[in-house]
Structure 1
Amino acid sequence: MKMLVNVIFPIEPFNSMVRNGTAGEIIGRVIDDIKPESVHFCEQEGNRSAVMIVEVPDASAVPAIAEPWFLIFEAHCEFRIAMTPDDLQRANLTKIAEKWSDIPVS
């Protein structure tokens, strides 16, 4: 399944890695290992961050994606399941709505 992974880097140790010239090389190694479908770098909550789409065969793959960011950068990682329009179509929202629409809402 596809997952959207948000990685938020705290100011340190990232600033120190930028200053000593290792940030880019280390990020490259991590990305080469994770092999995301896409990765974009941006700002989140005033911090440097990365947003990746990764293919996750099952939950046991999550630590291999998260741990490099945790261990090297002391980063904060968030994982969300990402659906394509086809995935949403296969969910059969009409059938789900029929099942749950008769429950009264106060």
Structure 2
Amino acid sequence: MRFMLKVNIPVESGNAAAKAGKLGETIESILADQKPEAAYFTDNHGQRTGFIFLEMKEASQIPAIAEPWFLALDASIELHPVMIPDDLAKAGPAIDKAVKKYASHTHA
């Protein structure tokens, strides 16, 4: 299953790694191990942030994905399942079923 890993690197630990000349090298090393489909870097809430898209077959892989970011950069992470357009197309029948069952209900 495809997941989006959001990595937020605190300013202090990111600055310390940058000043030591290790920020890029550390990120490159983690990405080389994780072999993501794609990785994008930007800012989020004033922190260096990565949006990394990767495949996971089972939940037991979460520590191998999360721990390098925690240990090397004191990062916080979020991990979310995501879909590509083909996945969304396959979900069509489930969406239709939910619409038929729940869309006619009124919400208070």
Normalised by the length of structure 2, the TM-score is: 0.90
After the TM superposition, which of the residue ranges 68-77 and 86-95 deviates more from structure 2? 86-95
CA distance in 1, matches of 2:98, 2:88: 12
Following TM superposition, by how much is the alpha carbon of 1:22 offset from its aligned partner in structure 2, in angstroms? 1.3
The equivalent of 2:56 in structure 1 is 56
Q: In the TM superposition, what are the counterparts of 1:90-101 in structure 2 within 5 Å?
A: 90-91=90-91, 92=93, 93-101=95-103
Q: CA deviation at 1:89?
A: 1.8
Alpha-carbon deviations, 1:57-103, whole Å to 9, x = none?
Answer: 11111111111001111101001111112212212211221122343
Which deviates further from its counterpart, 31-40 or 15-24?
15-24
How far apart are the structure 1 equivalents of 2:28 and 2:84? 27
Question: How far apart, CA to CA, are the structure 1 residues paired with 2:17 and 2:103?
Answer: 54
Residues of 1 paired with 2:63 and 2:103: CA distance?
A: 38
What RMSD in Å do the two structures reach over aligned CA positions? 1.2
- Matched residues, percent identical? 36
Amino acid at match of 1:73: L
Aligned length: 106
Query: Aligned equivalents of 1:88 and 1:22: distance in 2?
Result: 39
What residue identity is the alignment partner of 1:6?
Answer: K
Residue of structure 1 in register with 2:89 after alignment: 89
Moved more, 86-95 or 27-36: 86-95
Shift of 1:28: 1.0
SS at match of 1:64: helix
The alignment partner of 1:5 has SS state of strand
What's the counterpart of residue 6 of structure 1?
Answer: 6
TM-score by length of 1: 0.91
